[in-house]
Structure 1
């Protein structure tokens, strides 16, 4: 059972597949294919992330292959054209790299991925050195928690504490990540508090509540809050 928020360090992948600044084009392509990843961080001599090379960066060489020199002036993507002629990681990489810290929560990392429109992010420690990589699939690992694990955390981490304040008789059942709540809390003002706290439990997909509240206004279906 985990009664604390999930952090990037809980789900990130390691060891890290990475390359150095002078890594040649073919070596990068081989690393992406061998390890089945879509991008690799580029590291300096102290293992600090200085950039990222992705499949999209490598594919520019094919996209611009055969482009006549007389046509180059009409290209509106000079950066991409330069990458198409690059042969090392330093010239191919996107820099500065977008990174996350290992103590970030999963919702924080998910928001960065969404805003920056990336599928993978290098994870760095307090000194900026790479310590892992987190991907979209890694962020979904919280939804692999068992129903029993979720129910246990909800009972001990949320409901027991509320009952100590309010009293009442609340029942919880979890199936496929969907939490069903029933019963009563003596202080109806705590019903929406219970909903919010349970929504914040990593791995909860949805909440179906029939907890008693003022005019039964608390009854309903609530989406999970981990996205």
Structure 2
């Protein structure tokens, strides 16, 4: 995520919000209160609502640009479009509540949130909802540029050396083009499943090939014989 985040407060005037977006070259900006809590988000689409309803000044024959009409069809729920067109402050303009993500969330969770809510940027908040940073689609794509060696090192250091309840000395890890292959043996099937699930959550992992063997099949759902 990017920690230096441009933000506005609820009383920020419409024109100043537009200037913030333009000056920082971003498509959306979080709205925060006096204590740093994220209370909403304003996107460039919210600002352009005025363009969509300009026909009230230019007559019934005026048609908004195609881009504006598409935004109206796929836009997220929030304030009524006509209300946003009349907005003078950030509080009147913003979409609330804001779609946010916690700092500890993995890349997959952030990407799914963006897709589900049709947004390009997510404010990153702490446990109490205070702004910590912002993550964009571009930031998420950077994760998949990690080298295979970096991914393998994180799996060995943070996963295989982490659990105290299992012996992972028999597990081998190899990574090629982001695809992780887990091989070797563990005492229990459930331990193998846990290792595979934790590996899937590592940033930069494209897929996991689970070739782990086990001695005791204690898993609730067994995919193959012990």
State the TM-score, normalizing by the size of structure 1.
Answer: 0.68
Structure 2 residue matching 1:114: 3-state secondary structure: helix
2:31 aligned with 1:30, yes or no? Answer: no
Q: How many aligned positions are there? A: 197
Provide Cα deviations, 1:199-225, integer angstroms capped at 9, x if missing partner. Answer: 2333211234555689xx87xxxxxxx
2:136 aligned with 1:135, yes or no? Answer: yes
Structure 2 residue aligned with 1:74: none
Could you tell me how far 1:19 is from its partner in structure 2? 1.4
**Alignment CA distance shift 1:70-1:146 (3 Å):** closer
Structure 1 residue aligned with 2:81: 80
Q: Which has the higher contact order (CA 8 A, sep 6+)?
A: 1
Could you tell me how far 1:91 is from its partner in structure 2? 1.9
Structure 2: stretches of 5+ with no match in the other structure: 61-71, 73-78, 216-222
Structure 2 residue matching 1:115: 3-state secondary structure: helix
Structure 2 residue aligned with 1:39: 28
Structure 2 residue matching 1:195: 3-state secondary structure: helix
Map 1:53-132 onto structure 2 (within 5 A). Answer: 53-67=42-56, 79-132=80-133
**Alignment CA distance shift 1:156-1:32 (3 Å):** closer
* Richer in helix (by share): 1
Structure 2 residue matching 1:123: 3-state secondary structure: strand
**Alignment CA distance shift 1:107-1:84 (3 Å):** same
Provide Cα deviations, 1:160-211, integer angstroms capped at 9, x if missing partner. Answer: 779x74775x5433222122445x4275846555533432333211234555
CA RMSD for the aligned pairs? 3.4
Could you tell me how far 1:80 is from its partner in structure 2? 0.7
Provide Cα deviations, 1:95-129, integer angstroms capped at 9, x if missing partner. Answer: 23233333444444333333322222222334433
Structure 2 residue matching 1:33: 3-state secondary structure: helix
Partner Cα distance (1:185, 1:112) in 2: 36
**Alignment CA distance shift 1:136-1:90 (3 Å):** same
Structure 1: stretches of 5+ with no match in the other structure: 1-11, 72-76, 219-227
